[in-house]
Structure 1
Amino acid sequence: MSDPFSPEVSERICKHMNEDHADAIALYARIFGNAPDTKEAQMLSIDAQGMNLVAQIKSESIPLRIEFDHVLKDSEDAHHTLIDMVKQARTQVK
């Protein structure tokens, strides 16, 4: 079985998220990364267990690791999981 999260898959997902869903990444950092002062964030990589972000907090770049609630099977599972996480995060925003 091939690695569902090859560097190419991670790069493709990160590029899409950074270009089209920057607001969602900042929300992940604020809610799941326990970094409520995050102004913006970028997704650096994603694997079956979690994602690595860098958050901009008070003019500092802070690395964050956010673990998923399950091991992802493939990029489609990642897609659905990221959508579910942003929906969940939005319910926690005050």
Structure 2
Amino acid sequence: MSAPFGADVVAAVCRHMNDDHAADSLLICRALGGHPAAIRARATGLDDGGMEFAVTVDDVEVPVRVPFAQRLTERAQIRQEVVRMYREACRRLGLPPRAAG
């Protein structure tokens, strides 16, 4: 993993995803992370090329890496990319994305 973002940024993003967007993380891991049977997902890290999750499948927690569509160089790009991944996951799963807000 490359380290363009400091540990404080990574921790803040993971905390935000886990506290406020756990369901979104689960959709991302099901559709883009190759674990359609996952019942839980939590963000564990990220770098310029992707986001790391721990997903629970059949009562076993396994690591999952979901690559970003492009290398990220700025913190503001993280949110944009996670929103893109969420929308792509919804599209692949045939679910309507919730309204931005």
Q: TM-score range by the shorter chain?
A: over 0.9
| Structure 1 gap ranges (5+) | none
User: Counterpart in 2 of 1:74?
Assistant: 74
Q: Structure 2: which 5+ runs fail to align?
A: 95-101
CA shift digits 1:63-90 (9 cap, x unpaired): 1111111001212101001001101110
Counterparts of 2:28 and 2:81, CA distance in 1: 12
Alignment correspondent of 1:48: 48
Instruction: Summarize deviations over 1:28-62 as a string: whole Å, max 9, x none.
Output: 11111110001110000011111111001010001
Q: Provide the aligned C-alpha RMSD in A.
A: 1.1
Q: Which structure 2 residues correspond to residues 1-94 of structure 1 after superposition, within 5 A? A: 4-94=4-94
What TM-score, normalized to structure 1?
0.92
Partner AA of 1:28 in structure 2: I
Number of residue pairs matched? 92
8 A Cα contact 1:4 1:75, kept in partner: no
User: TM-score scaled to structure 2, two decimals?
Assistant: 0.86
Q: Percent identity?
A: 26
What stretches of structure 1 move > 4 A for 4+ residues in a row?
none
